[in-house]
Amino acid sequence: MAHRIIISGGGTGGHIFPAIAIANALKNIAPDTEILFVGANGKMEMERVPAAGYEIIGLDIAGINRQSPLKNIGLPFKMIKSLWKARRVLKEFKAEAAIGVGGYASGPLLMMANMMGLPTIIQEQNSYAGVTNKKLGAKARKICVAYEGMDRFFPSERVLLTGNPIRKSSVSIEGKREEAMHAFGLDASKPTLLVTGGSLGALTLNDSIKAGIPALVAAGVQVIWQCGSYYYEKLQAEFGEQLPDSIKLMPFLERMDYAYAAADVIVARAGAGTISELCVIAKPVVLVPSPNVADDHQTKNANALVVKGAALMVRDVEAREGLVPAVLELFQDTEKQADLREQIGKLALPDADVVIAQEVLNLIK
């Protein structure tokens, strides 16, 4: 008999990519499994999930607006409406289990699944659990985590260290360095830095690299600089024809595998999905956590690596002056690079999607 499973959540690529990876793994293990996604109307999952070949239903749910408290007046009504819709969806789809990956929609969907006595599974991506997941975790059958020590948030007997599901195509870098260098128009004999602020880009990283270009060029370091589509045109206009050939500025990276393969050192934000990919590719990393996230969880994610000697960290407020000097110092220290590669590689959990999917199927059985 075909299993029927609902996956809920989204809001960012960091929630959507793992959700789709789990769905794909379920389909690989049990091809007749029927999967339905539940997202938040107006959020990126409503486009990304159908593009990946899955059906999605939207809930009218939103997060707390901290900038404009008046906009929160309607939230209790949205929550009640979303809970009723979640109940209807769970009944009509005849769901046997529900998986929550984080994001607005996973709250009401998993709450209602718990009320109805259905087995629920949480996929907690960060090293610091958010308020909603902590509440949902009290009744979840399994909490799949990416970091050790998560039993401080959840019942220890139900916590399973699986890692975060990652995009396999992004981390498949073996033997691709030469073609990657050719694709970017770079010199394979020169040290290469990859700077990535995620699909939206990161202002701090952009400002830091902009300020550090003379020093990077003087040190002979070439740069793959993914600045984000939001910042690309402004940066292009600022540089005009003045950008050195060794600095490759681009809005986003279609081939993340090429970017990872070409890089000797990587500068990145500390989102959970990014860190999971970085552990698998095992290259020296300097993390600059975003301060604009709930519970400052990116700093906590980064610290989890720093304490193990698996990454370096530069705080966002110090990055404009301190990031490029820290990167250049790392390029000079080949011993430190080797140590970072070894330690971050030990944290790799490349098969999280399969482990989580199998756990879901075991729970249903």
Domain at 246, CATH number: 3.40.50.2000
Q: Do 211 and 132 belong to one domain? A: no
Q: Do 215 and 325 belong to one domain? A: yes
Question: Which tokens is 174 given?
Answer: 């073996």
The label of the residue with tokens 């975060």 reads 164
Q: Do 38 and 115 belong to one domain? A: yes
Q: Do 105 and 225 belong to one domain? A: no
Q: Which residues participate in the annotated binding site?
A: 12-14, 126, 167, 199, 298
365 residues of the chain, pLDDT tens digit each: 689 999 998 887 778 989 999 999 999 999 999 999 999 999 889 999 999 999 999 999 876 666 777 777 777 888 889 999 999 999 999 999 999 998 888 999 999 999 999 999 999 998 888 888 899 999 999 999 999 999 999 999 999 999 999 988 899 999 999 999 999 999 999 999 999 987 677 899 999 999 999 999 999 999 999 999 889 999 999 988 889 999 999 998 989 999 999 999 999 999 998 999 999 999 999 999 998 877 788 999 999 999 999 999 999 999 999 999 999 999 999 999 999 999 999 999 999 999 999 999 999 98
Q: Do 89 and 182 belong to one domain? A: no
- Tell me how many domains the chain contains: 2
d(CA 214, CA 209): 10
Q: Which residues participate in the annotated binding site for UDP-N-acetyl-alpha-D-glucosamine?
A: 12-14, 126, 167, 199, 298
Q: Do 359 and 281 belong to one domain? A: no
Note the pTM of the prediction, 2 decimals.
0.88
Q: Do 216 and 95 belong to one domain? A: no
Q: Do 175 and 267 belong to one domain? A: yes
Q: Do 227 and 126 belong to one domain? A: no
pLDDT of 240: 82
pLDDT of 64: 66
pLDDT of 65: 65
Contact 33, 135 (CB under 8 A): no
Q: Do 206 and 318 belong to one domain? A: yes
Q: Do 225 and 289 belong to one domain? A: yes
Q: Do 96 and 32 belong to one domain? A: yes
Residue range of the domain that includes 86? 4-165+350-364
Residue 120 has, within 13 A of its CA and on its CB side, a CA count of 27
